[in-house]
């Protein structure tokens, strides 16, 4: 059970670490969802100025709100168009979160220039700041949440300080009361608290995603990654005309290790294989564990080059002996491998896995410890 201190320590580490591909993909989907939500909410908010005017509110206040919401609707459509593009823009979450916060600030400024107390004491408009911070949770990135929260605090305090310093005497009105420094600081503290809580929520979501998509023994992505992330990788590769190969590996005679030396030795053998192969794999060659002793490697290469790459990995693993421990003799671990290619063999995960599995079986039947990338003739 994690303590509060440990949670904050983990949160700080999450701020410093690069995000993995699964979280980036979820964040991109969240950005599209938020863009649609922003457009719907902005359209609904068009009713607020009319309600305010009918209820006896200031005509200027209603026009200011209408202008601000109108700009938000137009720009929300722009953000939605950008977010829908297949290409991921690293700056997009920060820019759109900054937009959400700044729109609120602009409306407060318009109100404050007409009536300072309206801009500084308007709870309806100010309440959009916490909404903008909470909405960043859909982006699944604690950095974006922190950015939006700090930006809201800085902008709000900046507006408040400007008008309080520029106004002689107390700022007050019949409708909005007196502006007190203490109440302005309290709102800033509420924004900071909202930011912190949202960051912790996002961090918890990230941990759950990572746990659900990671193999507990090896730390590799698991079948969830294969089912949810790899289809998007294949789709992106087809869009730009790239070739992507899927290699399915299976350890040879792995059952003998479990039967003769026990399951703990079997686990150590799996870790040995992962350690050797990961040292050889590049950053753009993800390795997944999809079964007991089955692994998948994705290669952004043509089929022939992918065969050469996997055969080199096979020979490297064969050359590094496995040390079971407890005085047992070193053993040689080998793998058989089947390789399929997108788009040549299939264009989806199931088709690639089916073809790779057939070629893996051919490798097993051909004597094991080999890579097969063509169908038997």
Which residues are designated catalytic? 293
Residue 115: closest CA among 55, 200, 58? 58
Helix ranges (H only) for 253-343 are: 254-261, 263-280, 303-319
Residue 219, preceding bond cis, omega within 30 degrees? no
Residue 128: closest CA among 145, 110, 152? 152
Query: Distance between alpha carbon 376 and the CA centroid of its chain, in Å?
Result: 41
- Residue 334, judged by CB atoms within 10 A of its CB (0-12, 13-18, 19+), counts as middle
Rg over alpha carbons for the chain, rounded to the nearest Å, is 29
Pairing state between β 244-251 and 172-173: unpaired
Q: Find out whether 162 and 98 touch, Cβ atoms under 8 Å.
A: no
Q: Find out whether 167 and 224 touch, Cβ atoms under 8 Å.
A: no
Query: Distance between alpha carbon 205 and the CA centroid of its chain, in Å?
Result: 10
Residue 248: closest CA among 321, 106, 349? 349
DSSP state of 245: E
Q: Find out whether 20 and 210 touch, Cβ atoms under 8 Å.
A: yes
């Amino acid at each position: 059970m994690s303590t509060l201190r440990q949670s904050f320590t983990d949160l700080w580490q999450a701020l410093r670490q690069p995000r993995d591909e699964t979280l980036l993909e979820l964040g991109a989907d969240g950005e599209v969802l938020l863009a649609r939500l922003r457009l719907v909410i902005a359209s609904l908010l068009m009713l607020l100025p009319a309600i305010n005017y009918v209820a006896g509110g200031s005509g200027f206040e209603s026009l200011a709100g209408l202008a601000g919401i109108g700009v938000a609707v137009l720009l929300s459509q722009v953000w939605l168009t950008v977010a829908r593009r297949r290409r991921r823009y690293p700056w997009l979450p920060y820019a759109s979160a900054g937009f959400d916060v700044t729109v609120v600030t602009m409306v407060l400024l318009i109100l404050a220039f007409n009536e300072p107390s309206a801009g500084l004491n308007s709870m309806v408009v100010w309440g959009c700041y916490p909404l903008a911070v909470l909405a960043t949770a859909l982006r699944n990135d604690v950095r974006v949440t922190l950015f939006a929260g700090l930006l809201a605090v800085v902008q709000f305090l900046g507006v408040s300080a400007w008008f309080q310093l520029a106004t002689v005497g107390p700022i007050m009105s019949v409708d909005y009361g007196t502006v007190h420094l203490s109440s302005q600081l309290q709102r800033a503290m509420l924004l900071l608290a909202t930011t912190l809580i949202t960051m912790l929520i996002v961090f918890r979501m990230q941990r759950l995603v990572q746990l659900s998509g990671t193999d507990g023994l090896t730390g590799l992505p698991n079948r969830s990654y294969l089912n949810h992330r790899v289809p998007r990788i294949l789709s992106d590769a087809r869009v730009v005309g790239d070739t992507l190969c899927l290699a399915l590996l299976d350890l040879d005679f792995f059952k003998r290790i479990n039967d003769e030396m026990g399951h703990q030795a079997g686990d150590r053998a799996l870790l040995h294989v992962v350690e050797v192969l990961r040292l050889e794999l590049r950053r753009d060659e993800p390795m997944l564990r999809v079964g007991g002793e089955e692994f998948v490697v994705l290669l952004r290469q043509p089929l022939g080059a992918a065969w050469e790459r996997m055969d080199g990995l096979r020979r490297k693993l064969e050359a590094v002996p496995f040390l079971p421990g407890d005085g047992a003799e070193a053993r040689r671990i080998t793998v058989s491998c089947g390789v399929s290619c997108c788009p040549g063999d299939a264009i989806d995960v199931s088709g690639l896995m089916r073809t790779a599995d057939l070629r893996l079986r051919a490798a097993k039947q051909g004597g094991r410890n080999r890579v097969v990338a063509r169908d038997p003739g």
